[in-house]
Amino acid sequence: MACPWIQRELAKRADASRPTVARIERGDDVSTAPLAKVAAVLGLAVALPASRNDLDVGGS
């Protein structure tokens, strides 16, 4: 999804740090609270699996 804001502006709107926004962009591990805030600013929802056993990480 393309975002018209630079990381600093998105972080400010989401009340998150710029490094957190960068970690989200890279697909690094991020806690759910800042992830949900950034998603909300972008008009997105976060859906989490019921348990770690439900995670689909691809592969065979």
Residue 60 lies inside a defined structural domain of this protein: no
Residue 20 lies inside a defined structural domain of this protein: yes
Residue 30 lies inside a defined structural domain of this protein: yes
Q: What pLDDT score was predicted for residue 5?
A: 78
Residue 39 lies inside a defined structural domain of this protein: yes
Tens-level pLDDT at each residue, the chain (60 residues): 666 779 999 999 999 999 999 999 999 999 999 999 999 999 998 887 776 665 555 554
Residue 56 lies inside a defined structural domain of this protein: no
Residue 57 lies inside a defined structural domain of this protein: no
**Cβ contact 10:38 at 8 Å:** yes
Number of domains the chain contains = 1
User: Which residue range(s) make up the domain with 2?
Assistant: 1-43
